Amino acid sequence: MARGKIQMKRIENPVHRQVTFCKRRAGLLKKAKELSVLCDAEIGLFIFSAHGKLYELATKGSMQSLIERYIKCSGEVPADDQEAKEKQVNMDPKEEISMLKLEIEILQKGLRYISGGGGGAMTLELNVLEKHLEIWIYHVRSAKDLNSLGQKPSGGQGGCAPLWGPRGDAPSEVQGAAPLAGVPLGAML
């Protein structure tokens, strides 16, 4: 039994549309590879799905080298490069220096942000959270040790070991930390 001709219109059912996309994408990539092998052609192919996912194929080398070759052959200068060259030509040296200083400052701020410097309030908050986590890790390990020894943990905390920190300090003694006695472990995460 032969299949009927498929109408070229958008498939309304999203599941069927996705299945068709996957099958046809695979077929298109396979045909491009075959054409490259049979005819010794250099092929570059971009496919963007409906969800924005990128699928690409560069049969020889990388996609970047293929795009650069296309730009050289077509004689077009990318818009970004052309605008940058025009700005450099029209800019006076003082403006260029001030612009470069501003760019350096922005990059240094980004570097400080990435390396963790300059965020005083955030650092304090992270230190408090780190201490809470250390206490809970110690708490869980103590309960595990007691369970492995076959003992029931003491204290009125529903079968949990006392909340003493790894360095012997009580949770209320940790600087900036709130008491954790009634807080379940899941609430900390």
**CATH number, residue 47:** 3.40.1810.10
Indicate the pTM of the whole model. 0.40
Residue 4 maps to a domain: no
Please tell me the predicted confidence (pLDDT) of residue 177. Answer: 47
Q: How many domains does the chain have?
A: 3
Is residue 135 within 8 A of residue 166, CB to CB? The reply is yes
Residue 153 maps to a domain: yes
Tokens standing for residue 131? 């201490």
The CB density around residue 106, as the number of other CB atoms within 10 Å, is 10
Which one of 63, 97, 115 terminates a domain?
A: 115
The CB density around residue 83, as the number of other CB atoms within 10 Å, is 11
Query: What's the full length of the chain, in residues?
Result: 189
Residue 130 maps to a domain: yes
Residue range(s) defining the domain that contains residue 30: 14-74
Please tell me the predicted confidence (pLDDT) of residue 163. Answer: 47
Type of residue found at 176: G
Whole-angstrom distance, CA of residue 74 vs CA of residue 76: 5
41 and 69 housed in the same domain? yes
61 and 106 housed in the same domain? no
Please tell me the predicted confidence (pLDDT) of residue 41. Answer: 92
101 and 126 housed in the same domain? no
Residues 6+ apart with CB under 8 A from 170: 163, 164
Residue 40 maps to a domain: yes
Whole-angstrom distance, CA of residue 112 vs CA of residue 104: 12
89 and 103 housed in the same domain? yes
Please tell me the predicted confidence (pLDDT) of residue 78. Answer: 62
Residue 50 maps to a domain: yes
100 and 53 housed in the same domain? no
Whole-angstrom distance, CA of residue 47 vs CA of residue 43: 13
In a 10 Å sphere around its CB, with 0-12 CB exposed, 13-18 middle and 19+ buried, how is residue 130 labelled? Answer: exposed
Burial 1-25 (b: 16+ CB within 10 A, else e): eeeeeeeeeeeeeeeeeeeebeeee
Which one of 87, 115, 143 terminates a domain?
A: 115
98 and 60 housed in the same domain? no
37 and 87 housed in the same domain? no
Please tell me the predicted confidence (pLDDT) of residue 185. Answer: 47
> What are the 10-residue block averages of pLDDT along the chain, 189 residues in total?
82 91 94 94 92 90 88 76 65 82 86 67 76 91 87 55 48 47 48
Whole-angstrom distance, CA of residue 167 vs CA of residue 153: 20
Residue 1 maps to a domain: no
Please tell me the predicted confidence (pLDDT) of residue 147. Answer: 87
Please tell me the predicted confidence (pLDDT) of residue 171. Answer: 46
106 and 131 housed in the same domain? no
152 and 178 housed in the same domain? yes
Half-sphere exposure of 112 (CA within 13 A, CB side): 11
